[in-house]
Amino acid sequence: MKMPLWLRDLSRRSLKNLFWYVFVATRGGPTRTRLMLQIIRNPSNARRLSEALQLDYTTIRHHLEVLERNGLVTSQGNKYNRIYFPSPLIEYNLDLFEEICEKIYNRADLREIRRRK
């Protein structure tokens, strides 16, 4: 898959700042990290994500909106069958996401990402 032009224009530093802000610096960062790891492992709809992470559906919806607003997930489908996928921003910069996660979160979760590659 070819890298989109808009993605090439973002500097590595800008991406790192975005990832730190969304996944570490804000109160919901740990939840969004778990959610992103789950989406990377298995793209799903909000209901399945809430079941997999054992979190309330409205909590998942909130964090999905934050991730989508920041360009970190994409979605396809209608309201209830909307499936969430990692965006090209995450896919092309998975190493940066891993780097941030390694510094902050459980390394066992990261083994799942590496297996997907």
Beta bridge partners of 85: 74
pLDDT tier for residue 13 given thresholds of 50, 70 and 90: confident
SS (H, E, C) 9-50: CCCHHHHHHHHHHHHHHCCCHHHHHHHHHHHHHCCECHHHHH
Q: Decide: 72 and 82 in contact? Cβ < 8 Å.
A: no
Does the pLDDT value for residue 117 go beyond 60?
no
Residue range 53-83, pLDDT digits in tens: 999 999 999 999 999 999 999 999 987 789 9
Domain boundaries, the chain: 11-116
CATH 1.10.10.10, applies to 11-116: yes
pLDDT tier for residue 1 given thresholds of 50, 70 and 90: very low
Model's pTM, two decimal places?
A: 0.81
Q: Quick one: pLDDT at residue 25? A: 87
